[in-house]
Structures are given as structure tokens and as C-alpha cells.
């Protein structure tokens, strides 16, 4: 089988990274070379690397009335007026990165289930954003020697120059270089999210009549009968019993102000942005409630076309709600807010501004989690895990599901019902107590030996 290799240097400079593509017909190779040149010596979106088969799936005489997936999807994303500008921006940004490079050049009627299956396989093999955009640099001899010495309990400084003795021992051991961790790839959950938001609705829209009665572009969708790879189901991390104090003390020892932030998250179930955007005016210590009316979120700035942290005038579900708080928590929050103006955030960062999410995570919560693990906590705790902890406590405490939904701010009851899908120590105790009569009867029937005999 003949093949034509098209090679170029990215950007056109002689020091640019070399790239290439293998084509299986001369015509494809020639048109691909023209596209590379027209695209500033860069790979065109219509020809993703490793997707040679799709280069040949296009019709030699494409239907002039049939738009490509990329063309129609752009129009569809912009027409989703029920979604916020930020969400429409996210649909397009995700498609540009993960969908258009694979089959955006294909006409809508040429995207088949096979194409979708190959796209899913391609996505699951892609490196995650951290590995794709921040590749690890090769270790220097000193870095390799330090890691080797630490792994073999050889005294060495964690920073600065490595001693000549440590370097000598490292070289005597054959100058071993620690293996880098395998690059993480995109998860099935990420692939499913992209499919549900940026692909499936596009084909559904193409099967509908136009606003002025234009006939549908498609009469069937490749999404029918297509199934994504199964997503592993993982129970959310939740703190139980003594774990709450272990984690809270670790955060307090790292930063006392953030410890109160964490206490409020666990005691109210507020989302991170709802708590970061809580103003002093939202506190009602006399009524024993917090008024959740807004959120601090990463939103699209339509003037600049970029996403920025901004105050959103409503919470996630677009419904304001009240969350009860105890007298003790109300007292702590009132003391913390003392001296602040009603329109100022309760929890503030540098110079009285809103809390920076990345700064709180990297400089406080991550070190606190490391400290908590040293003290015996084995779970990976995030702000969302603290919210799960509170909602799970409500369930274990017998709070009615409808009330749980109101407090959590879930738009759908199905979301709240999802918290009933896992057993907790409290639920396990209730289950065992409920079936205890059966166990008691079994002891009499089978003449079960006393418990002491098992010790």
C-alpha cells in the first residue's frame, strides 16, 4: 500500500518543532500540504494526527446544503439562549479543543456511530490538561540524586545543593533516574460530559424543523444506539466521626480563618462559590439563618471574551434560599464579620477582596490535607466533599428528603436522592438493628456459640 508523508516545521521557523502526517492518496497529501501552508505551517483542524481514516471518509462531492459538524455546532451553541453566556462559551471552547479537531470537518450526515466510537477511544487516550500543557522537564543529576537518596533513607537536604557524598553514592549505584509517573489521561466522566453537552444536542437540533419551517437537516442521529464506555462509579469522599476533627484541626493549624470557612461549609452545605460570595448582609444571627442570594464564580467577561472571577447575582440553581445555622456558628461568624460593611464579603482575602480559589487551595487546603494524612486521614477532601459531608449528615439524621433538597439548593430531587446510594456508619447501624430479630432467632435455631469464642 502506497503512502505519502507530508512533513513541516510548526510555525515555519527552522527551529520549530517538526510535525508530519501520513496520507494514503496523493490527492489527500497535496490538499493537506496546502492546508498546512494556509494555516501558517500548522496542522489544520480537519486533519488530526493519528486519524488517517477520517481523511478519506468525506464525500468527493459533498452536499452543498449540508454544513459540517463544526459549522452547525457553532450556530447551535450560540442559539442555546437558555444557557448562560459562560456556559455557551464553555461549549464552544470544549468543542474547539476536543471535538472539532477530530470530526469537525465532516458533514453532519457523515458522522456515524463508528466515528463517535473512534472519537471516544481517541479522547480516552488523550493526556489530561496538566500533562498536555505542563510536561515534566528531565531531571538534572542533582534532582535525580536527591530523589534516590530520599527513597533510600540517605540524609540529604530537601532543597539546595546535594552534597558531594550523596552524589558519589548515587553514581556508585549506577546513577539511577526515578521513573516518572505515567501521564494521566482524560477520564470517562470527562468524555461523557463533552458528549452530552457538545455533541449529542447538536444532532438532536439537526433533526428539528427550522424556525421558518425549513426541513430538518437529518432524519436520524448517530447518537441512537451509541454507548460511551462505562464510567466507574466512585462513592464521594465524606468525613465521618473522628475524621471531622482530624481534618478541621489540620486546617486550623494551617490557617485559623480558613478553618472557620471549612466549619461553615460542613455545617451549612454551601457550595464554595456561595460561601466565598456571602456578604455580611447575608448573615442573620437573630433569625439563625444564612441567606444564600449570590455566588462568586468564574464567569465570561463578554467585553474581553475571557473568563474572570466575578460575583454572580444568584446561586447555582438560580433560586435564593435560607440555610439554618446554630447559635454557636452564628456567634463565630458574627465575631469574624465584626467591623466589615454589609456589602463586604464575610471571608476576605488580601486587601479585603474576595477569596482567591487557587490561592486557598494551594497554600492552605493542600498543606492542611497533607497534615491531616500524617495524622491518620486517608481520604482526599475537597470543598465538594465537605458539602457531601453535610448532606450525608442530614440523611443520617432523618431529615426529610424535600427539606434536604431545599437546604442543599438542588434543582432536581434526583440529585438529592443520589446521596442515598451509599451506606454510612449510621445507616449501617440502622440496617443491622432492623434485622436483629432475624439474627436473634438464628442464634436459638443454630445454637450459635457466644461472641467470646470468636475472640
What's the mean pLDDT when you consider all of the chain?
A: 81
The whole-angstrom separation of Cα 81 and Cα 90 is 14
Percent of the chain with pLDDT over 70: 80
Q: Which residues have C-beta within 8 Å of that of residue 168, sequence separation ≥ 6? A: none
- Report pLDDT digits (tens) over 272-329: 999 999 999 999 999 989 999 999 999 988 888 888 999 999 888 788 888 888 899 9
DSSP code of 149?
H
> Radius of gyration over alpha carbons of the chain, in Å?
29
Q: Using one digit for the tens of pLDDT, what is the confidence trace for 331-390?
A: 999 999 999 999 999 999 877 889 999 889 988 998 899 899 989 998 888 888 888 888
Q: What are the pLDDT digits (tens) for 61-100? A: 455 578 999 999 999 999 998 888 999 999 999 999 999 9
Q: Which is higher by pLDDT, 297 or 6? A: 297
Cα(380)–Cα(366) distance, rounded to whole angstroms?
10
Is residue 184 helix, strand or coil? coil
Q: Is the full-model pTM beyond 0.85?
A: no
Q: What is the pLDDT of residues 281-290, one digit of tens each?
A: 999 999 989 9
- Residue 449 DSSP one-character state: P
Residue 56: name the closest of 140, 115, 16, 100 by CA. Answer: 115
| CB-facing half-sphere around the CA of 304: CA atoms within 13 A | 6
What local confidence, expressed as pLDDT, does residue 252 receive?
A: 92
Neighbour-count burial of 415, counting CB atoms closer than 10 A to its CB (0-12 exposed, 13-18 middle, 19+ buried): middle
Mean pLDDT confidence for 19-28: 75
Residues 6+ apart with CB under 8 A from 423: 431
pLDDT at residue 303, rounded to an integer: 83
User: Which pLDDT value is given to residue 454?
Assistant: 41
Question: What's the grid cell of residue 144?
Answer: 535525580
135 has pLDDT over 60:
no
Residue 52 has pLDDT above 50, yes or no: no
Mean of pLDDT values over 173-199: 82
Q: How confident is the model at residue 142 (pLDDT cuts 50, 70, 90)?
A: confident
- CA distances (Å), 32 to each of 1, 28, 402, in order? 19, 6, 59
CA distance 404 to 416: 7
Least confident of 21-30, 50-59, 234-243, 399-408: 50-59
Higher pLDDT, 453 or 260: 260
Considering only CA atoms, which of 280, 275, 281, 267 is closest in space to residue 295? 275
8 Å CB contact between 210 and 185: no
Q: Is 187 exposed, middle or buried (0-12, 13-18, 19+ CB in 10 A)?
A: middle
Averaged pLDDT, 147-175? 80
Please say whether the beta carbons of 104 and 45 come within 8 A. yes
In whole angstroms, give the CA distance from residue 94 to residue 406.
32
Facing residues of 260 across strands? none
Q: Which residues of 112-144 are buried (b: 16+ CB within 10 A; e: fewer)?
A: eeebbebbbebbeebeeeeeeeeeeeeeeeeeb
Q: At what angle do helices 141-151 and 164-172 cross, to 10 degrees?
A: 80
CB 271 within 8 A of CB 315: yes
Instruction: Give the helix ranges, DSSP H, for 84-214.
Output: 85-98, 100-103, 113-124, 129-133, 141-151, 164-172, 188-194, 200-206
Residue 97 neighbours by CB under 8 Å, 6+ apart: none
> In residues, how long is the chain?
455
pLDDT in tens, 430-439: 666 766 776 6
Give yes or no for residue 409 having a pLDDT over 90.
Answer: no
Considering the chain, what percentage of its residues have pLDDT values greater than 90? 33
Mean of pLDDT values over 138-147:
79
Amino acid at each position: 500500500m502506497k503512502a505519502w508523508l507530508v512533513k513541516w516545521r510548526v510555525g515555519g521557523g527552522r527551529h520549530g518543532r517538526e510535525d508530519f502526517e501520513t496520507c494514503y492518496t496523493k490527492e489527500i497529501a497535496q490538499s493537506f500540504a496546502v492546508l498546512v501552508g494556509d494555516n501558517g505551517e500548522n496542522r489544520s483542524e480537519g486533519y488530526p494526527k493519528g486519524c488517517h481514516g477520517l481523511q478519506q471518509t468525506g464525500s468527493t462531492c459533498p452536499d452543498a446544503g449540508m454544513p459540517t459538524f463544526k459549522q452547525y455546532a457553532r450556530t447551535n451553541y450560540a442559539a442555546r439562549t437558555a444557557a448562560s453566556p459562560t456556559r455557551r462559551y464553555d461549549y464552544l471552547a470544549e468543542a474547539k479543543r476536543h471535538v472539532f479537531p477530530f470530526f469537525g470537518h465532516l458533514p453532519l450526515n457523515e458522522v456515524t456511530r463508528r466515528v463517535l466510537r473512534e472519537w471516544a477511544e481517541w479522547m480516552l487516550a488523550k493526556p489530561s490538561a496538566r500533562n498536555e500543557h505542563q510536561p515534566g522537564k528531565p531531571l538534572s543529576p542533582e534532582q535525580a540524586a536527591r530523589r534516590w537518596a530520599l527513597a533510600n533513607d540517605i540524609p540529604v537536604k530537601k532543597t539546595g545543593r546535594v552534597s558531594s557524598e550523596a552524589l558519589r553514592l548515587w553514581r556508585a549505584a549506577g546513577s539511577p533516574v526515578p521513573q516518572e509517573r505515567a501521564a494521566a489521561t482524560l477520564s470517562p466522566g470527562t468524555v461523557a460530559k463533552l458528549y452530552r453537552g457538545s455533541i449529542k444536542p447538536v444532532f438532536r437540533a439537526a433533526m428539528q424543523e427550522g424556525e421558518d419551517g425549513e426541513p430538518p437537516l437529518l432524519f436520524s442521529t448517530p447518537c441512537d444506539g451509541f454507548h460511551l464506555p462505562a464510567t466507574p462509579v466512585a462513592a464521594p469522599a465524606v468525613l465521618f466521626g473522628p475524621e471531622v476533627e482530624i481534618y478541621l484541626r489540620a486546617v486550623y493549624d494551617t490557617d485559623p480563618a480558613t478553618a472557620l470557612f471549612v466549619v461553615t461549609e460542613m455545617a451549612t452545605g454551601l457550595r464554595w462559590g456561595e460561601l466565598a460570595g456571602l456578604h455580611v448582609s447575608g448573615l442573620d444571627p437573630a433569625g439563625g439563618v444564612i441567606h444564600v442570594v449570590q455566588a462568586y464564580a468564574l464567569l465570561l467577561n463578554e467585553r474581553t471574551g475571557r473568563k474572570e472571577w466575578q460575583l454572580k447575582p444568584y446561586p447555582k440553581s438560580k433560586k435564593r434560599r435560607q440555610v439554618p445555622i446554630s447559635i454557636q456558628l452564628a456567634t463565630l461568624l458574627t465575631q469574624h464579620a465584626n467591623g466589615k460593611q454589609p456589602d463586604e464579603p464575610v471571608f476576605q482575602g488580601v486587601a479585603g477582596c474576595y477569596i482567591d480559589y487557587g490561592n486557598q487551595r494551594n497554600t492552605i487546603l493542600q498543606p492542611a490535607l497533607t497534615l491531616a494524612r500524617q495524622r491518620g486521614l486517608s481520604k482526599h477532601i475537597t470543598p465538594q466533599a465537605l458539602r457531601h459531608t453535610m448532606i450525608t449528615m442530614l440523611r443520617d439524621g432523618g431529615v426529610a428528603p424535600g427539606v434536604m433538597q431545599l437546604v442543599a439548593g438542588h434543582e432536581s430531587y434526583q440529585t438529592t436522592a443520589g446521596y442515598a446510594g451509599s451506606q454510612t456508619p449510621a445507616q449501617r447501624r440502622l440496617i443491622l438493628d432492623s434485622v436483629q430479630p432475624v439474627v436473634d432467632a438464628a442464634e436459638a435455631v443454630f445454637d450459635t456459640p457466644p461472641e467470646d469464642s470468636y475472640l
